[in-house]
Chains A and B, each alone.
Chain A
Amino acid sequence: MNELFEMFSFSFMQRALIVGIPVALCAALLGVSLVLKRYAMIGDGLSHVGFGALAIASAFNLAPLWVSVPVVIIAAFLLLRLSESSKIKGDSAIALISSGALAIGVVVATVGNGMNTDLSNYLFGSILSTSQSDAIMSVCLSVVVILLFIFFYGKIFAVTFDESFSKATGVNSGAYNMVIALLTALTIVIGMRIMGTLLISSLIIFPALTSMRLCKTYKSVIISSSLVSVICFVSGLIASYFLETPTGATIVIVNMIVFFLFTAISYCIKPLRG
């Protein structure tokens, strides 16, 4: 117990908690919609775009978040548009954009000043070295995402469940798809700090899939995945401190364990329900 107190007496650990919990919440909320809309890989694609943007930002000595936020938002809109026009299918479009952006990022970074620590932090996550200004911006953006999600809750459900019904009955579903894209883009950019480019999509996908093992209504899935996400984040952070493992990867492993746990429970419950 004392060790726990000691752990959170470090300011970098406090900051990690303050930044991480809202981001974990955002990712869980949006993850449900993305998984159900079959857009689970969008998180992965956008995070690579984010990496490319960061590489360019650091090559030109610009503030990383200010560059990557708009770039990733534009990429999110493009991806949704591309998957609507069926010339290039959604999954191929994501693969195209993400590998392209990653390649640009790596080349720009190496030509500029070699792979410096900042960039490799973005690849694998560096929540423990978040700067104060980054932390403040991350928290603000997460709060905005959570508030917008609550405000649009009913619409996001309707557009996710049945887009053509919404559109046919006069709901502006295109606009709400854009809202989902915007919120996703924001979540990805701020989440990259914690999990890194390579692991951020797990923060989006795992809590939603885990909750869908057991929960049967949309509301309960949303609530459960928020809880699962936050609990996994906090326990992953603590575990990584004691085991001295990389934070992002540890959180993903905790998520995996919980996923298998929920799956096992769902198989145990099934015979009982008949």
Chain B
Amino acid sequence: MPILKCENISMSYDGITVFNDLSFDVEGGDYLCIVGENGSGKSTLMKGLLGLRPLKSGNIIYSDGLKRDEIGYLPQQTGAQKDFPASVYEVVLSGRLNRRGLKPFYSKEDKTAAVQNMQRLGIDSLKNRCYKELSGGQQQRVLLARALCATSKLLILDEPVTGLDPIAASEMYALIKKLNSENGITVIMVSHDIIAAVDNADHILHLSNKELFFGTTEDYTHSEIGSRFLYHNCHCDGCERHSRYHHDSSHIHKYEGDGRNE
């Protein structure tokens, strides 16, 4: 059974419909990347998944194992956080709040979990540092640790590498990939970075005003919409590599040939 099932959802923004009748499933352990141009509704869809914005129609069904308070979320940073006095530990610990209900203060268990998640992401040495004095990459790790405190099942990430330098960005991607493959955490990521999306994710949801794609990354790189989006006027290493892969369809023919012979 899928961990998350979207059935014919439609959402609107300021009265304008952003997308209509969108359906897709996310299985436990999937790594789904939501891509698309600006204004295609990526962020709106994500807010819908998180329950921050109402749906116009349709249903989002979380499987019975997953409750609303078991979703980890990595938001984009807000301006207010840039000068917020808070230690790394305080920020990470606040991710445990959704388990506390009305109970005040944090338990010993919460504190251990916070420390463990900091160790997992290699930021335990920053525990008492001030959040606003960290580098962009370190801040993202702190927020990721906080998201892990809130969940062990599903992470929803909003443009996690925005504003990071290339090295910090690739470290961030490696970290997310590791959480997905080693810890079995389901990842849903909204991203502009199509190359990284294709490199990392195993499923792609491409939102666009006219057409739409949902399927595995493999299928996406061979699809019409994927190839147009991927290799359009770009000759960087990543695009060139994927472009070669796209045009080299020998493995597909071979597969189909095998199928027919049997």
Please tell me if A215 contacts chain B, counting CB pairs below 8 Å: yes
Interface residue A118 (Cβ < 8 Å from any Cβ of B): no
From B67, B70, B91, name the one whose CB has the most chain A CB atoms within 10 angstroms. B91
> What 0/1 readout, one digit per residue, does chain A (140-177) give for beta carbons within 8 Å of chain B?
00000000001111110110011011111111000000
With an 8 A cutoff between CB atoms, is A36 at the interface? yes
Q: Is the CB of A166 within 8 A of B97?
A: yes
The listed residue (B80, B90, B93, B156) touching A37 by CB distance below 8 A is B80
Are B156 and A152 in contact, CB atoms less than 8 angstroms apart? Answer: no
Given contacts A154-B97, A169-B95, contact A217 B130 (CB under 8 A): yes
* Contacting residue for B71 out of A36, A154, A168, A212, CB 8 A: A168
**A171 CA to B102 CA in the complex, in Å?**
10
> When the two chains form their complex, are residues B86 and A161 in contact, meaning their CB atoms are under 8 A apart?
yes
Give a binary string over B49-84; 1 marks a CB under 8 Å from any A CB, 0 the rest: 011100000000000000111111101001011011
A179–B71 alpha-carbon span in the complex (Å): 25
B interface residues, how many (CB within 8 angstroms):
40
On whether A215 and B75 interact (CB within 8 A), knowing A151-B104, A170-B68, the answer reads no
Q: Is A76 an interface residue (CB 8 A)?
A: no
Which residue in A152, A153, A157, A162 is a CB contact (below 8 Å) of B81? A162
Complex-state Cα separation, A151 to B103, whole angstroms: 8
Q: How far is the CA of A17 from the CA of B97 in the complex (A)?
A: 37
Q: Which residues of B contact A168 (CB under 8 A)?
A: 50-52, 71, 73, 75, 156
Q: When chains A and B are docked, how far (Å) is the Cα of A39 from the Cα of B106?
A: 27
Q: Give the secondary structure class of A's interface.
A: helix
Query: Which residues of chain B are near A157, meaning CB under 8 Å?
Result: 86, 90, 94
Query: Total A-B residue pairs with C-beta atoms closer than 8 Å?
Result: 96
B178 close to chain A: CB less than 8 A: no
Shortest Cβ gap from B200 to chain A (Å): 22
Tell whether A38 is near chain B: CB-to-CB under 8 Å: yes
Interface string of B38-58 (1 = CB under 8 A from A): 000000000000111000000
Contact B91 A171 (CB under 8 A): no
Q: Which single residue of chain B is at the shortest CB-CB distance from A158?
A: B94
Please give the distance in Å from A240's CB to the nearest CB on chain B.
31
B11 within 8 Å of A by Cβ?
no
B150 within 8 A of A: yes
- Known A-B contacts A151-B104, A158-B97; the reply to A165 vs B86 at CB < 8 A is no
User: Does A150 lie within 8 Å of B98, measured CB to CB?
Assistant: no
Residues of chain B with a CB closer than 8 A to A155's CB: 97
CA distance A37 to B85 in the complex (A): 12
Let me know if A165 and B104 touch, CB within 8 A. no
Q: Which residues of B contact A165 (CB under 8 A)?
A: 73, 75, 95, 143, 146-147
B87 close to chain A: CB less than 8 A: yes
CB of B255 closer than 8 Å to a CB of A: no
**How distant is A174 from chain B, measured CB to nearest CB, in Å?**
12
Interface residues in B106-137 (C-beta closer than 8 Å to A): 106, 128-130, 133
Q: Tell which of B69, B93, B130 touches A169, judged by Cβ atoms closer than 8 Å.
A: B69
What's the minimum C-beta distance from B250 to chain A, rounded to whole angstroms? 45
A151: chain B residues at CB < 8 Å are: 104
For the complex, give the distance between the alpha carbons of A162 and B73 in Å: 11
**Distance from B143 Cβ to chain A, minimum over Cβ atoms (Å):** 8
Which residues does chain B contribute within 8 Å of A171, judged by CB atoms? 69, 97-98
- Are A164 and B52 interface neighbours, CB within 8 A? yes
Q: Give the Cβ gap from A124 to chain B, nearest Cβ, in Å.
A: 33
Asked if A161 and B85 make an inter-chain contact with CB atoms under 8 angstroms apart, the answer reads no
B71 and A217 contact, CB distance less than 8 A? no
User: Do A170 and B85 touch (CB < 8 A)?
Assistant: no
Bound-complex Cα distance A170 to B93 (A): 15
Query: B100 an interface residue at 8 Å Cβ cutoff?
Result: yes
A162, A169, A216: the one within 8 Å of B85 (CB): A216
B90 (CB) vs chain A CBs: closest residue: A218
Q: How far is the CA of A205 from the CA of B24 in the complex (A)?
A: 49
Most chain-B Cβ atoms within 10 A of its Cβ — which of A36, A162, A166, A218?
A162
Listed residue (B78, B81, B84, B106) with the most chain A CB atoms within 10 angstroms of its CB: B84
Considering the chains assembled together, what is the distance between the CA atoms of A170 and B129 in angstroms? 28
7 A-B pairs within 8 Å (CB atoms) are namely: A36-B80, A154-B100, A158-B97, A168-B52, A169-B97, A217-B128, A218-B87
Known: A162-B75, A169-B98, A217-B90. 16 other contacts (CB 8 A): A36-B80, A37-B80, A154-B93, A164-B78, A165-B75, A165-B95, A165-B146, A167-B51, A168-B50, A168-B51, A171-B98, A216-B129, A216-B133, A217-B85, A217-B130, A218-B85
A residues contacting B by CB (< 8 A) are 36-38, 150-155, 157-158, 161-162, 164-171, 212, 215-221
